[in-house]
Amino acid sequence: MNDLDERYMRMALRLARRGAGRTSPNPLVGAVLIRAGRVVATGYHRLAGDDHAEIIALKRGGSAARGSTLYINLEPCNHQGRTPPCTLSLIHAGIRRVVAGMVDPNPLVAGRGVRRLRRAGIEVDVGLLGDECRRLNEAFVKSITRRLPFVVLKLAASLDGKIATFTGDSRWITDEGARLYVHRLRNQVDAVLVGIGTVLADDPQLTCRVPGGRNPLRIVLDRRLRIPLSARVLREAEPEKTIVVTGPRAPRGKIRLVQSLGARVWELPVTQGGISLAALLKKLGRMGLLSVMIEGGADTAGRALREKVVDKILFFYAPKILGAEGRDMIGTLGIRRVSRCTRIRDVEVKRLGRDFLVSGYLK
Q: Which residues are catalytic?
A: 54
Please provide the size of the chain in residues.
363
* Among candidate residues 94, 92, 113, 95, the one with its CA nearest the CA of residue 29: 113
Report the alpha-carbon distance of residue 333 to residue 301 in Å, rounded.
Answer: 10
Q: Distance between CA atoms of 185 and 316, rounded to whole angstroms? A: 13
Helix (H, G, I), strand (E, B) or coil at 267: strand
Angle at 328 between CA 164 and CA 349, to 5 degrees: 90
Q: Count, in order, helices (H) and strands (E) of the chain.
A: 11, 18
Rounded to whole angstroms, the Cα distance separating 6 from 133 reads: 12
Q: Are 120 and 94 in contact (CB under 8 A)?
A: no
Distance from C-alpha of 5 to C-alpha of 11, rounded to nearest angstrom: 10
Q: Is 220 helix (H, G, I), strand (E, B) or coil?
A: strand
Is 307 strand, coil or helix?
Answer: coil
